[in-house]
Each structure stands twice: as structure tokens, then as C-alpha cells.
Amino acid sequence: MAAHLKDEDLKPEEREEYLSILVKSGESLLDILNNILDIARLESGSAREERSSFRPAVLAQEVVALFAHRAAEKGIALTPFVDPNLPEVLLGYPMRLKQVLFNLVGNGIKFTDSGEVTISLGCARRSGDETLLAVAVKDTGIGISPKGIERIFTPFSQADDSISRRYGGTGLGLAISKRLVEFMGGRIAVASKLGEGSVFSFTLPVTVGAEDVAAETNSLNAGETPLRGLSVLVAEDNVFNRKVLEKILEKSGISFDSAVNGVEAVKKGTEGAFDAILMDIEMPEMDGYEASRAIRRSEKETGRRVPIIALSAHVSEEHRQMAFEAGMDAFASKPVRKTDLLRALAEATGRE
């Protein structure tokens, strides 16, 4: 495909199509590499992460927000349910739990042509501060055969070879999900019928952790005022993600402008007078890494340095290091939480 781009007789629209295919292929390869690295770390026992406080209701809504547009495009209902008996704040592994839910909900939407996908978080058992969190993702999709269930959690395997041909995918998502659930102290199971849908469920041991999140919320509320009046450039190609970011900024009294690709981000970032730039890593025409490098090169002439905050769903140490090497100052993982985004802005602009 790359060789075809050298053809001088290519029409502009053909060249653009080939470039788009190359970019998507590169992104797919990067996703595969990230998944392989995740599996390697989990299997070697090198994955390390400290438990932190989170609100299950907020976590469920964040997952829904990430997939709402994709579900709407297919006409599928995407519904979260959080058991009212579940403690409002828990102590566990929220980023790992999100990663599992991303895989399960993403699969649910991919393999469902009509009906719904539901996410449920409940309380299976509670004894004092110790709670058993019950998680389930249910879809009304194509379902899985008994033989398919036997191999579905095996790396690079799918329930049926025809699934790979029709829907694509590497067969790594569920394998990683299984290992992540085990890393968090649980076991994942699946119940499914062909033509009716599937239910992926697991339980996780967690504890009540109200104080940490309460302190975080108080800190956020106290820290919003100093950010009022900031001017921020939002470089994000995904319409839904961009609107979420803009809404957070708007409610915090922060003015903003937007760029929908890396080239536009460089143009606006070098010509405008922004206090900070929110830079999505994966954008068309020019990715966030190269856009940041271009901005830093331009700043050598002006002597002004604008803080750049990387936005990415890839949270590995390698990706963080790549962001910092490209000249970025901070890193916020997707889906972006309001608290994390505002804290990153406060730290980057010195308005803590």
C-alpha cells in the first residue's frame, strides 16, 4: 500500500484513501502490540498497580459515555444499572475494571445488530467494609456456541473463524479481560445462546473507600475557581470526546477553541495565545506526538512554552514516556474524568 503512494498518477482522492488505510492499519498494529504487552505483563507478574477509590456509578456512566455514539449509530440501547445497595464509594482497581468493561461493552456492541447492551454493577455480598462487587455485561447479539465458549478466552482465538472474517478483531480482548479480572482477584464467566446473546459476568473483592474520594471531590471543588479564565485549545478528532471535554471546560469557566486534526492543532497552537493545549494522541493527518514536536519547534523562535496535556486510552508507561519525549507536560487517560482533567490543567498551568 505504501508503495502505491509513490505513483505520480494517483488522483488526490485515491492518495487520501490509501493514506487513510495506512493510518488505520498502523493503529490496528499498535492496538495489537499494546494488547500483547498487557498479556505479557500480566502473565509474568510484572503488572503492578495500587488500589484507589472510585464511584461505581460514575465509572459505569463513563463507560456508557465512551460507547454512546457507537451504540446510537447501530440503533442499540446502551444501559447502565447500579444496585442502590452498592456502597457509593469503593476501593479497588478502577482503571483495570474500566479496561475490562471497555472490552466487554465494545464486543457487545460489535456483535449486536439490534436490541441492547446492559452494564450492571451490584453487591453480591457485604461484610462490614468488605464487599463482593458483581459485574455483568449482557447483550442481545449473535451469541456463542458451546464449542466457541471453550476457546473464547484463549489469546488470538475467536468463537468461530467466520466471526473474524465478518467482524474483524484479533481475539485478544477477552483473553486480556480474563487475566485482568484474575489480577483483581476475581473469575470471569460467560453464558450464551446462539442467536439470543451473551452475558459476561465476574465478581471482585473490594472495600469501602469513602474518605479518599470525598477528599478528592473537595479538592476538585476547591481547585475549580483558580482555573476560571484560562484559555485552552482542545485537539481531538472524535466529535463525542471533543464535546465532553468542551463541556467540562465550559462548566469550569474555561474558554476554549478546538482543532479536529494534528495539522490544525499545530496551526492554532502556534498562532493562538492559549494557556494550555489538550492533545489527543491519535488524530488524522498528524498524530499528537508529531503535532507536539512541531509546536515545540515553533516555540524556540517565540520563546513561549505552552503546557501540552496528552489525552490517550493507552496508559502504559511506554506511551507516557513517548508523550513526554514529544514535549508534552502531562498525561490524562481516556475516558477523561473531570477531576483528572482539571487537576492536570491546574498542575500544568501552575494554578493549583
CATH classification number, 225-349, choose in 3.40.190.10, 3.30.365.10, 3.40.50.2300, 3.40.50.1360: 3.40.50.2300
> Under CATH, what is the fold of the domain 49-211?
Heat Shock Protein 90 (3.30.565)
| pLDDT average, residue stretch 284-294 | 94
| pLDDT average, residue stretch 271-278 | 93
What global pTM score does this model have? 0.51
The residue extents of the domains of the chain are: 12-46, 49-211, 225-349
- 348 CA to centre of own chain: 22
Give 11-53 pLDDT, tens digit per residue: 787 777 767 666 655 554 555 555 565 656 656 665 566 788 8
Task: Give the C-alpha separation, 222 to 258, whole Å.
Answer: 27
Give 67-115 pLDDT, tens digit per residue: 888 888 899 999 888 887 888 899 998 888 988 998 899 999 999 999 9
Task: Give the C-alpha separation, 93 to 90, whole Å.
Answer: 9
Give 2-13 pLDDT, tens digit per residue: 665 667 777 787
Which one has a higher pLDDT value, 315 or 194? 194
- Please choose, from the candidates 16, 18, 17, the residue with its C-alpha nearest in 3D space to the C-alpha of residue 4: 18
φ/ψ of 331, rounded to 5, equals: -140, 125
